[in-house]
């Protein structure tokens, strides 16, 4: 980013900050703040150990210094502006989760598809936090990072005192690390009536059971009943180890029986007692793989982490770091809803090939095309990404 480009981008950020709605975190006066300034780029020098006594002070800093990136600490300190970490006197910290497309296995290469992929992972995480851990909707604060993912903030007193080890355990749980699926199904003895022998029946946690047991049940019921309705059901089932054509045909008949499906939902698997165990293990492992949420463990376990300020702009994209409710997340389109700049035409000189889809428009640029004109919102993205410079020369 040359000086001319830097001045243009900084001026647009400044225009935004003059009227921006900034979402201050709880007890913001007890937080450490950090900023990366345009004036010091391309060096990423973090100006940290700052504190603000009022929202007005913070707004004045944002509109006056115009940072490329703005952060605050997840931690609460007695002396947040002390020059070193020891002197700050750590008190407690929010529980934070970071889902970034760069850390997700199998993330698509297209930016738009990548953002959709990480949003689906975020919805999985919300399900764990709300259903498994019992956090109320109003206690789970979701933020689009402005770049390639989402942050989850929980500030309730119950979590603030958790140490790094406890926070890692939460990450392990939602990511299924160390989960042994075999313990969720097996056989148990049932006493017979007078004159009848005792027997063994196959059991599974019911769909209403909390934690991973209920999740695996719901997945298996949905998967098995869905297979029975597909034309290629035989082919799908015989793809599992230990399932031949005859066994697959028997299973399809079972899965089409609503009474058997109802028993399965209640954790009763008498009809499945003669199914090869490798099939059940494979299906349970498939359930765990598809239902786990991939989060960045070092972020969650770091009780002194700095995290992006909701309402600020991301200096690497020009998009807004956007606070969301769960209902807003479900319909949120970052490449439209986090775009803050205008449709006014801006001249650029492309310096490297790049493509992006924003506000329903596809922009594909190549160097050597001379000066091009694109809407301001696309120009800001290309400039922040280092794909172009401002103006004709």
Catalytic (active-site) positions: 98, 100, 296
* Cβ atoms of residues 392 and 349 within 8 Å: yes
Three-state SS string over 124-163 comes to HHHHHHHHHCCCCHHHCEEEECCCCEEEEEECCHHHHCCC
DSSP type of residue 268: B
* Cβ atoms of residues 32 and 306 within 8 Å: yes
Three-state SS string over 8-22 comes to HHHHHHHHHHHHCCC
Reported in sequence order, the residue ranges of the chain that DSSP labels E, i.e. its strands, are 33-37, 46-50, 67-73, 75-77, 90-93, 95-100, 141-144, 149-154, 186-190, 199-203, 306-308, 322-324, 345-350, 354-358, 361-365, 371-375, 388-390
* Cβ atoms of residues 99 and 299 within 8 Å: no
SS3 345: strand
């Amino acid at each position: 980013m040359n000086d001319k480009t830097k001045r243009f981008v900084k001026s647009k950020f400044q225009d935004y900050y003059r009227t921006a709605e900034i979402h201050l975190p709880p007890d913001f006066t007890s937080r450490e703040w950090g900023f990366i300034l345009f004036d010091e780029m391309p060096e990423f020098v973090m100006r940290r150990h700052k504190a603000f006594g009022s929202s007005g002070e913070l707004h004045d800093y944002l509109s006056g210094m115009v940072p490329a990136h703005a952060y605050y600490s997840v931690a609460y300190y007695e002396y947040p502006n002390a020059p070193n970490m020891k002197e700050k006197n750590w008190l407690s910290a929010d529980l934070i989760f970071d889902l970034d497309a760069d850390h997700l296995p199998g993330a698509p290469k297209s930016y738009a598809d990548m953002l959709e992929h990480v949003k689906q992972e975020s919805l999985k995480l919300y399900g764990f936090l709300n259903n498994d851990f019992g956090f109320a909707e109003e206690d789970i604060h979701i933020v689009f990072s402005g770049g390639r993912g989402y942050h989850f903030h929980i500030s309730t007193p119950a979590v603030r005192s958790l140490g790094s080890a406890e926070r890692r355990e939460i990450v392990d749980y939602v990511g299924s690390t160390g989960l042994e699926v075999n313990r969720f199904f097996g056989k148990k003895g049932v006493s017979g009536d007078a004159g009848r022998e005792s027997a063994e029946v196959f059991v599974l946690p019911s769909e209403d059971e909390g934690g991973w047991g209920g999740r695996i049940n719901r997945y298996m019921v949905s998967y098995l009943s869905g297979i029975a309705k597909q034309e290629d059901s035989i082919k799908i089932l015989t793809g599992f180890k230990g399932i031949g054509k005859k066994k697959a045909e028997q299973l399809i008949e079972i899965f089409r029986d609503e009474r058997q499906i109802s028993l399965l939902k209640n954790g009763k698997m008498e009809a499945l007692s003669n199914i090869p165990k490798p099939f059940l293990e494979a299906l349970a492992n498939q359930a765990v793989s598809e239902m786990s949420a991939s989060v960045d463990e070092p972020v969650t376990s770091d009780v002194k982490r700095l995290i992006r300020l909701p309402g600020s702009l991301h200096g690497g994209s020009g998009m807004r770091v956007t606070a969301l409710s769960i209902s807003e997340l479900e319909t949120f389109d970052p490449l439209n809803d986090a775009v803050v700049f205008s449709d006014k035409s801006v001249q650029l000189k492309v310096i490297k090939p790049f493509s992006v889809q924003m506000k329903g428009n596809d922009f594909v640029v190549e160097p050597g095309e001379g000066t091009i004109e694109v809407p301001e919102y696309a120009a800001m993205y290309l400039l922040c990404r280092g794909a172009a410079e401002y103006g004709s020369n």
